[in-house]
Amino acid sequence: MVVTGLGAVTPLGTGVEKTWNAICAGQSGIARITRFDPAGYDAQIAGEVKDFDPAQFIEKKEIKKMDAFIHYAVGAAQMAVDDAGYKIAPEEATRVGVYIGSGIGGLGSIEYYHKILQEKGPGRVSPFFIPMTIINLASGQVAIRMGAKGPNSCAVTACATGNHCIGDAFRLIQRDEADVMVAGGTEAAITPLGVAGFASAKALSFRNDEPTRASRPFDRDRDGFVLGEGAGVLVLEELDHARRRGARIYAEVIGYAMNSDAYHITAPPEEGEGAVRCMELALKDAGVAKDQVGYINAHGTSTMADAIETKAIKQVFGEQAYRIPVSSTKSMTGHLLGAAGGIEAIFSILAIHHGLLPPTINLEHPDPACDLDYVPNQVRSASPSVALSNSFGFGGVNACVLFRRMDA
C-alpha cells in the first residue's frame, strides 16, 4: 500500500507545497478570528484558512449548496488526485473509493439556517440544507465529481477522524475491495457556536494577545488548544497498481490500529493506557521493531494531555523514546479536529520523503513531565525510515498510522 498523492488546505496556505514550506520555516497560522466578531469570547484566536477559493475547484452554482467543510474536502481531494497524476478510467471506477470524514460537519450552515428558520420561517430554509451539513457528503461530493464508484464512507470520531479514515481505507485495499482510495479528514468549525462550545469546556487557549505563541505543545505554559480548520487528503494505492501506471510514490502505509480508552468523554486516562495499546497494536500490525521508528508526529494538542501522550510514548518505546524525535505540528496549524489526522499524515509522510523533521514551535519552557526530544523551534535534517502518526479524540477514541520510506 503506497501514498501517491497529497492535498492540503490549512491555516498555513492552500496546497501541500505552501503548507510544507511554512511548516519547515516554523511559521504559525494562528491569528485573531476574522470569520465573526469574537469580542466577548474567552477565546478570540484561531487557525483560519485564509487563501482558499472554492471557485478553483467547484462550479459557482454548486458552491452555495455545500458547507465550507465540503469545500475544503473537494479542494484537497482534487489537489491530491492531481498530485498523483491519476484520472479514473470508466472501467476501473468501481475499484476506486473515497473515505473522508469530519468531526463536526456543517456547523456553520446549521447555525446560519437555524437563524433563518427563527427569523423568516421554515419556507426559507434551503432544500440543500441537509446535504450541505451531513458529514458523509464530503466523501459523497468528492466521489460524484471524480466518478469513484467503489467504497464510499466516512469516520466521525472527533480528533481521530482523519487517521481512522486513512486506516480504514488502508484496510479496504488490503481486503482487495479497492485498488485506490482517496482518504483523509476535513473540518470547518470556526463558528460562533463552535468557538463558544470549546471555550466553555475550557479546552481552548485564551492567550488572545499573543496568537502566534498560543499553541505551545509540551510547554510548561500551555493553556489549551487553538481551533484550526482545513483538510488533508491522501491518495492510497495498491503497489502494483501504482507501479503499472508509473506513479511517483511518497511512502508506504504499513500499519494501523484503533481502540478505545472506555474512560471519559473528553479526557484520556492518566497513564495513557489506551494510547499505549494503540501504538503497540499499530507496530504489531506493521511488523516493525520499535527501534525502526525514527519520527513520531504526536497528537500534541497544547493541553495537559501532552504529558499523558509523553508518558504513553515512554511506556511503548522505553529508553528508545528518548532517541526518537517527536513533534507537534499543531503548534503551527492549531488543532484541525477531524482534519488533524489527514494533515498530520501528510507531514509525517513528507518528513520521511524529504528527510526533514517538522519543529514544535513555541517550546520555550519545557514541562518537566514532557522530557522527550520535541524538535524544538527549528526544522531538523534527518533520515527516518518509519514515521508514526498519533491521533486521539473525545470519547476515548485512538488511532495510529505508520508510514515507511519506500527505499527502506
269: confidence class by pLDDT, cuts 50, 70, 90: very high
pLDDT digits (tens, 9 = 90+) for 183-225: 999 999 999 999 999 999 999 999 999 999 999 999 999 999 9
- What is the structure's pLDDT at 408? 67
Class in CATH terms, 2-244: alpha beta
Closest CA to 9 of 330, 228, 250, 252: 228
Hey, where are the domains in the chain? 2-244, 256-404
Which CA distances in Å does 276 have to 329, 367, 399?
Answer: 21, 21, 11
pLDDT digits (tens, 9 = 90+) for 235-245: 999 999 999 99
The yes-or-no answer on residue 159 being catalytic is yes
Give the global pTM: 0.97
**Backbone φ/ψ region at 290: left (φ over 0), alpha (ψ -120 to 50), beta:** alpha
Q: Which of the residues 24, 159, 278, 400 is marked catalytic?
A: 159
Q: What is the percentage of the chain residues whose pLDDT exceeds 70? A: 100
Q: Give long-range contacts, CB 8 A cutoff, 24+ apart: 14-23.
A: 14/49, 14/51, 14/52, 14/53, 14/75, 15/79, 16/79, 16/83, 16/346, 16/350, 19/343, 19/346, 20/346, 20/347, 20/350, 22/332, 23/329, 23/332, 23/347, 23/358, 23/379
- Contact criterion met (CB below 8 Å) for 338 and 190: no
Q: How high does pLDDT run on average in the chain?
A: 97
407: confidence class by pLDDT, cuts 50, 70, 90: confident
Which CA distances in Å does 313 have to 43, 163, 175, 307?
Answer: 30, 18, 30, 10
CATH 3.40.47.10 fits domain 256-404? yes
- Answer yes or no: same fold for 2-244 and 256-404: yes
